[in-house]
Amino acid sequence: MLSIITIGDPLLAKTSALVPDIDADIRKLVERMFETMGTRGIGLAAVQVGEAIRLFITRAPRDQPRVFINPDILETSIEEDTLEEGCLSVPGLYTEMVRPASVRVQAWSEKGRPFTISADGMLARVIQHELDHLNGILFVDRLEAKRRKRLLATYDDKLRL
């Protein structure tokens, strides 16, 4: 098990670097990330386990486990969805967020194969959330300032308990 860094850790605000080689070390990291995520989450970015590289994994409901290395969003829909989001780096905080309903993404698999995927529903949501991590953005950063302040204030109260 790897440890997951949480909100307030400056690494979460960093832009992750491109993965230069998809090698055995990367495949080992992917394996350990899946172990670490377990059944607690549906997505995890490498930066959350202290490796600021452009890699994330997903296991969305009713979907197979997926690995995205050096991902790029090719297209986002104009249509939006409101879904509840949470984050293993902000444990215990969940809030409804509006984001594009579907995305088309290009990335490389852990086997070094390029692929593109069109996703909607929870998978589209997880992909956007994880891509934000690679750019140093937490989901709470995307909330309107007042709402973020209010949410984090209650969050801090919970942490103090």
With 0-12 CB in 10 A as exposed, 13-18 as middle and 19+ as buried, what is 127?
buried
Residues at the site binding Zn ion, with contacts judged by CB under 5 A: 87
Residues classed as catalytic: 130
DSSP tag of 4? P
Q: Minimum Å distance from CB 112 to Zn ion? A: 25
Q: Nearer to Zn ion by C-beta: 49 or 107?
A: 49
Dist. CA 43–CA 78, nearest whole Å: 24
Q: How far is the CB of 21 from Zn ion (least distance, A)?
A: 25
Nearer to Zn ion, 2 or 20 (CB): 2
Number of helices (H), then strands (E), belonging to the chain: the values are: 3, 7
Nearer to Zn ion, 29 or 90 (CB): 90
Q: How far is the CB of 111 from Zn ion (least distance, A)?
A: 25
Nearest position to Zn ion, beta carbon = 87
The DSSP element (H or E) to which 114 belongs, if any, is: strand 114-120
